Structure 1
Amino acid sequence: MIPARIVVAPDSFGGWKTASEIAERIATPLRAAGLRVVTRPISDGGEGLLDVLQSASLLDRVEHRQAYGPHGEPRGGLIGWRQAVPIIESSTWLRTLARPHAPWSASSAGLGHVVASLLDTPGTIGLGGSSTVDMGLGFLRAVGARLLDRRGRPIDGTARSLWSLHRIEVSPGLLHNWTVWSDVSTPIERGAVAYSPQKGVAPDHLAYLASGWAHVVNVWERWRASHALPRHTIGHLGGGAAGGLGYTLMQLGAHLKLGAPTLTALLLPDLCADDLVITGEGCLDATTGESKVVAAVALACERRQAALVLVVGSVGSGAPDFGDILVCADAARANATASSSRDTAFMHTIQVLVERLSGSTRDQSPQAAREGRRSQ
């Protein structure tokens, strides 16, 4: 049965195409086949946040801000405004553009400089896509906090100083009117081990980094006690985002929310049972269920009784079973000629999907989809 409306709502395919680009590549051949299609690219709050908000016409304006990258290099970027509230995509100033990564010397100060210029207004930070593991020390210095060692001497804002920190001097509630959209649900106690390897931290240094984060948590607890604040729950979802910065933002009073479900609700408000939703990501694996876009869209479809199709670049171990149809671009590429580009292989996959949805081929059952995934 041909759906009344197809909603194309993918995440980005990391390192290849943005969510908006993927949405258009899926939507164009569907429209050409005469199907009714709307595109709603979605972000989990990390890289690509402003792009999807602009695509949905949810920003009143954007403006340029100049600050620094994680190694102090001058870097400009855009912030968005919606209903007089600034929206900052943190990866603009937290992501290392050059390789190899140098996580121990990377700092979150650049993002802090941007936020410091906006402290007189409520704001939103999309948190994720960072190359930092400094647990927000650089950010703290940039917004005016004093970070001192046991002798009362200032320390720098990098991961090398985690163990030197003895006292934090900053006013409680500095970010009480700010909201944070975290791209992961990982709490602070698991963040160092979960994401630091992809930022360049060697496997045999992970325990050392985790101990540094635990030390900073203890310093924060002393700070909370000195201000008669209750102990903070370290298991709060999202605290481990952006190299532990999520936890630090919560200490400053920011309200942390999981980005994927928050943005899915914002971008798919009119989803209904007559819709067929196409979502996807670069790799469907065990982490997909940890508050990622695909999981959030699948839950929204379940609640609204909308049909769901997944288009993914590849399937890893532990991948959840969300959709009725699963189309793997990697599988299509393997069947294409050796000279075919990734884009050509992806579009071949989408054409197969178009034929199924337009009735040119027999609809694939959920059971067949699951068997097809296992065979790939």
Structure 2
Amino acid sequence: MKILAAIDSFKGSMTSEQANQCVKEALPEHAVTCFPIADGGEGTVDAFVNVMNGEMIARSITGVNGMPYMGKWGWSEEEKTAVIEVAEGAGIIQADDKKETFHPSNHTSHGVGEQILQALEYGAETIILGLGGSATVDGGVGILQALGVVFMDSSGQPLPTLPVQLSRIHAIDASNLDKRVNEVNWQIASDVTNPLLGKKGAVYIFGEQKGLNQSELPDYDADMKKYAELVTHVTGNDERDTEGAGAAGGIGFAALSFFPCQFESGLSLLAEKGELETLIKQADLVITGEGKFDGQSLGGKVPVGISRLAKQYEVPVILFAGKIEGDHVAIEEENLQALVPIVDAPMTLDEAMEQGPALLEKAVKRTVHLMAFGERMRH
């Protein structure tokens, strides 16, 4: 049987690449092709480097906490394309998780801007920027500072990189913005459609998971609004209500305002680069999955996107997950023929995450063996 393994990462347990490899190792008697998955967040660089046969570039940048950090981004010399993910240069996985310091005022996106500069020095003609997994709610200020934009306080003094203080921004000088940002083809990989401001914006929807207290949300959103008004005045572009402006703590807004960019689904971009449709057409079965399958998954998360694509070619899909919420065993209208939880015994979340690869491998073996048994019973 020809099987396509296209599993999203199980956050904190295994990457997409590791999960796909588990399927391959579980089914040595089948022809398993692996396709790495990313939606713009953690793993985006790895996935694109894989499908483009590119290389990883490691260079020192300013980390999300302001300390030096060895950040990685992807490069395809053949396509003159750089792949940069916010999760690497300003990621929540890189942030100091101490309760007293875990706060957006202590998190900058400056390192992402430095990676953009590094890519420009490499001669990038296209930059794919993934907007998932950030620890920042700085409206992209850090990125813009790295690219030459100066943010000034009421006395005309430039503001530092840290702490992030949107409330102190009274003027913006974009005259020294690196001109090369207007000469590249920007592709913003993000599945987030939130606007910048308000109850559905960057602060209210994502602020608390990045360290804001609930009581801080109104004032922080008001500060973001004042900042956005200044950006709109300086650029002549009003992107505050544009879908995706609220992605990555407002980095989406900065990109839309200052770069000639377009937003695209991370999966769609990856599928195009890696010819995912062709791989699906050639498969007898697609195996996908994610750490947790719930109501949000049906809103268009990666595994469901893959199942919908496979439905066009009448290729069945089985989904494996660490946890499946609700009473679904299959969702045939979405081409999900079976939803299989991988946990096979009582255990804590930490234990399940630690044992994730082994649990997935066993679940895949059991399921495919059961499929083969069912086929024998039919004959």
State the TM-score bracket (shorter-chain normalisation): 0.7 to 0.9
1:56-71 correspondence to structure 2 within 5 Å: 56=51, 58-71=52-65
Structure 2 equivalent of residue 348 of structure 1: 362
Structure 2 equivalent of residue 248 of structure 1: 254
Task: Return closer, same or farther for 1:174/1:256 CA change in 2, 3 Å cut-off.
Answer: farther
Q: Determine if contact 1:134/1:158 at 8 Å carries over to the other structure.
A: no
Structure 1 equivalent of residue 239 of structure 2: 232
Shift of the alpha carbon at 1:263?
1.6
CA–CA distance in structure 1, aligned partners of residues 19 and 41 of structure 2: 17
CA–CA distance in structure 1, aligned partners of residues 347 and 64 of structure 2: 41
CA–CA distance in structure 2, aligned partners of residues 318 and 124 of structure 1: 38
CA–CA distance in structure 1, aligned partners of residues 129 and 224 of structure 2: 22
Choose the corresponding residue for 1:334, options 337, 341, 346.
346
CA–CA distance in structure 1, aligned partners of residues 295 and 87 of structure 2: 24
Which residue type is aligned with residue 85 of structure 1? T
Structure 2 gap segments, 5+ residues each: none
Which residue type is aligned with residue 36 of structure 1? A
CA–CA distance in structure 2, aligned partners of residues 159 and 259 of structure 1: 31
Structure 1 equivalent of residue 140 of structure 2: 136
Structure 1 gap segments, 5+ residues each: 364-376
CA–CA distance in structure 2, aligned partners of residues 264 and 150 of structure 1: 47
1:1-376 correspondence to structure 2 within 5 Å: 4-31=1-28, 34-56=29-51, 58-82=52-76, 83-95=79-91, 96-100=94-98, 101-119=102-120, 121-122=124-125, 123-157=127-161, 160-170=164-174, 175-176=181-182, 177=184, 178-189=186-197, 190-225=201-236, 229=237, 231-232=238-239, 234-236=241-243, 238-253=244-259, 254-267=261-274, 268-270=276-278, 271-272=280-281, 275-316=284-325, 321=331, 322=334, 323-330=336-343, 332-334=344-346, 342-343=355-356, 344-357=358-371, 359-361=372-374
Shift of the alpha carbon at 1:297?
1.1
TM, length-normalised to structure 1 = 0.83
Count of residues in correspondence between the two structures = 348
Identity %: 25
Q: Determine if contact 1:20/1:55 at 8 Å carries over to the other structure.
A: no
CA–CA distance in structure 2, aligned partners of residues 239 and 303 of structure 1: 32
Which residue type is aligned with residue 159 of structure 2? I
TM, length-normalised to structure 2 = 0.82
Deviation sequence 1:183-204 (CA, Å, 0-9, x none): 5333323222222222222222
CA–CA distance in structure 2, aligned partners of residues 142 and 335 of structure 1: 46
Q: Determine if contact 1:138/1:156 at 8 Å carries over to the other structure.
A: no
Task: Return closer, same or farther for 1:159/1:128 CA change in 2, 3 Å cut-off.
Answer: farther
Deviation sequence 1:62-114 (CA, Å, 0-9, x none): 22211111111111122221212222233222123431223221111111112
Task: Return closer, same or farther for 1:158/1:244 CA change in 2, 3 Å cut-off.
Answer: farther
Task: Return closer, same or farther for 1:166/1:12 CA change in 2, 3 Å cut-off.
Answer: same
Q: Determine if contact 2:235/2:258 at 8 Å carries over to the other structure.
A: no
Partner secondary structure for residue 66 of structure 1: strand
Q: Determine if contact 1:167/1:223 at 8 Å carries over to the other structure.
A: no
Partner secondary structure for residue 360 of structure 1: helix
Task: Return closer, same or farther for 1:318/1:154 CA change in 2, 3 Å cut-off.
Answer: farther
Which residue type is aligned with residue 149 of structure 1? D
